[in-house]
Structure 1
């Protein structure tokens, strides 16, 4: 016999006290912290406890008794379901305060190092349609909310092959196999909504199969969309060829999309037979137009391909990159290393104020784009290398290319590998500019460098309104000893 667990309690009329990490809020109950999503400080709510741990609990709201005075009406019809914009119910000014506090808390509590007074956070220029890239999953069985299920008439749902169950949308938080259909996302140019909805309509009308991630079967697998401030639009469609005729069906869909949306300047597709949706190691095929689009920043042009990393908030990227250029304080005589250079955006952005810039990046295609970006912009003082950072950036590499005066580093969320930190310390540049999308791992790395470098400036930057994510730029200068 299986042992039945007592159901967790519902706590009534609790006051939401403060904002916590990962877009959640918190309150205290019986000497424990309880974390809840989709609420704001000042809300009075009934909460169903869903998880109990030794030092904390998690819950979900079952009823809002009284709304907080700081609450804002969410702009999106999918708020509270897709999980992407957990702070739409919080005024933007309050979001910025919370992000500033998040950076301060993580650098002080995790880093435990001396810090200067922080600069006020730089808010995003746009708070709607600010993204230049979105990815959507396809599924043969869509996910339903509890409310949608309760409102349904009796039906035969969930049967294999029932195209009414198919969906294109976002993954439900914490569920790799559940897709919620998205009708309208307000984070990107509205054209992407029109394209995505038309692909869904056409595919269902033609009887195309949607992907089943568990069975790894189904033709239509995923979409990736990019647009740029030059007016270009890229669409990458991922297919999964299973049966005879699938390739012809895929071509038919691509022709329909190309004819229906002439705004698409780069239409690309791939047959992905892997167990996951990543396509960085796959060969892509261009159906129409080019295999890239251009972004501009000041008088520079940047070539961005489907595999390239580029900051997803185009307008705010300029303000973000202006910070490391300012912190680097270049005079034209410096050798600069740009680590995790991506498509060479920062490297080319600062190159005209440096003697030479050397960029290193893991993705070979991004490095080719970085070289092309230098060429397009007539920049001749950059060098780019592709490979794993800890394998490329070695003491031997520095001996060959020269000891940097300035290092700019913009690592992924995991931060820098300890070997990379060690080589940076051995290189002993006068200044290090650390751009981070995760202040927690940044704080850890700052602690590793604290014996040799002191933090002299901190500048938080908001790149993702309505989400808890925040970028942070730190200037480190070599200690006198």
Structure 2
């Protein structure tokens, strides 16, 4: 006999009061706390509970008694199924307010700072335009597209393929995208042309579960100069079909400066370990930030919001307060963008990065900009940031930290407390791990300036820059 399902209640008249880490809304009714998707602080709603946990419930709104004044009409026809812009039903001003609050809360709770930390947090740096800001978009082909709720209810047999985005939380479900408001230029036209061409000419779309099909992924990169890069990924080398598609794209979009392709027989979609081939044009495009030129190749990491990247790096430079006698260590240096921004104000810059391709890009970008006082080294940061390195390049006066979301390794904290550079600039896309790491530095450092930067409008993500000075 099957077990009877537990009774899952409906909570009526709950008020949405805040935003939780991760972007879900926090609703309260009496002593109950419920995390809710697709709700905005100020809404009063009925909630269908979907999960019961020890200290809170999770649920979804099923009726709105009152709509928040923070609400706005979503721009995108694919909202809310597409999880890329899950906050676009909230005004941009409200988004900024809750991102700034997220940073303040993390600093107070996780780093253990007192109330006066608020005085050190500068207003969040807003995006000039919260739409069409991305310089890179990745789309996935799927043999069957994700159905809308209305299509599911209709019970019609729909077997159309898709070219679009992953449905949130589902690796094998793709929502077909006809228009995306995140990338400007010819992005939408290129994607729609490729979808129409491949459908018309019978190209099999990839099935990730069965590991079969031909067309697999599409990457479009753009630069403010107007340069465009397109990379198409195929599961196997059907030379005739591949060349036919590439030729059609080249002829239809002469503005494409770099048209490339790759054969990817792997179980995942990454380009790691694969050789990308140039079909037409260059093997790169050029982006400019504050007078510096950066070479962007298919595998290059580059901040996806170019205008805000420029503002982010200007903030880091201002916080660093460099002099021409300073030795700067740029840890987790990536393709060298931050270090190269620092180079004109410092005596020397030493970047450390574990990804060999990124280091090659950093060195190439240094040469491209005729910068001779920056060196970029390949290796594990926690193993390389040591006394041997300091004897070769000098002790650090300023250290830039820009780690992955997981934060810095405890051994880095120990070395910083041993070396005691005058200033540490910590850049993070995860204020929670940033606050944790800052707490470890408190015995010898005091936070002086903090500034959140909105790199990704309409999402819950926020970048944060902290300047800590030696006591």
Shorter-normalised TM range? over 0.9
2:201 maps to 206
C-alpha separation between the residues in 1 aligned to 2:322 and 2:83? 42
CA shift for structure 1 position 198:
1.2
Q: Of residues 189, 203, 221 in structure 2, which corresponds to 1:194?
A: 189
C-alpha separation between the residues in 1 aligned to 2:381 and 2:277? 29
1:10 maps to 10
1:132 maps to 135
SS in 2 for 1:224: strand
Is the 8 Å Cα contact of residues 425 and 466 (structure 2) preserved in structure 1? yes
1:321 maps to 313
CA shift for structure 1 position 190:
4.5
- Work out whether 1:349 is the aligned partner of 2:344: no
Alignment of 1:241-280 (within 5 A): 241=236, 246-280=238-272
SS in 2 for 1:16: strand
Alignment of 1:334-345 (within 5 A): 334-345=326-337
- Consecutive unaligned residues of structure 2, counting only runs of 5 or more, are none
Is the 8 Å Cα contact of residues 42 and 67 (structure 2) preserved in structure 1? yes
SS in 2 for 1:249: helix
Query: Per-residue CA shift, 1:402-450, capped at 9, x if unaligned?
Result: 1111111111111112222223333321111011111011011101111
Alpha-carbon distance change, 361 to 444 in structure 1, aligned in 2, over 3 angstroms: same
C-alpha separation between the residues in 2 aligned to 1:248 and 1:425? 60
Alpha-carbon distance change, 236 to 420 in structure 1, aligned in 2, over 3 angstroms: farther
C-alpha separation between the residues in 1 aligned to 2:253 and 2:448? 50
C-alpha separation between the residues in 1 aligned to 2:279 and 2:469? 49
1:161 maps to none
Q: Of residues 400, 404, 409 in structure 1, which corresponds to 2:396?
A: 404
Is the 8 Å Cα contact of residues 398 and 427 (structure 1) preserved in structure 2? no
C-alpha separation between the residues in 1 aligned to 2:416 and 2:393? 14
C-alpha separation between the residues in 2 aligned to 1:235 and 1:374? 25
Query: Per-residue CA shift, 1:68-97, capped at 9, x if unaligned?
Result: 222111111111111111111111111111
Aligned length: 468
CA shift for structure 1 position 14:
2.7
Q: Of residues 296, 299, 312 in structure 2, which corresponds to 1:307?
A: 299
C-alpha separation between the residues in 1 aligned to 2:101 and 2:23? 13
2:153 maps to 150
2:422 maps to 430
C-alpha separation between the residues in 1 aligned to 2:278 and 2:470? 48
2:458 maps to 466
Is the 8 Å Cα contact of residues 304 and 343 (structure 1) preserved in structure 2? no
1:21 maps to 21
2:94 maps to 94
- Work out whether 1:379 is the aligned partner of 2:371: yes
SS in 1 for 2:344: helix
- Work out whether 1:46 is the aligned partner of 2:38: no
C-alpha separation between the residues in 2 aligned to 1:104 and 1:96? 12
2:168 maps to 173
2:106 maps to 106
- Consecutive unaligned residues of structure 1, counting only runs of 5 or more, are 159-163
SS in 1 for 2:411: helix
CA shift for structure 1 position 7:
4.7
C-alpha separation between the residues in 1 aligned to 2:257 and 2:34? 48
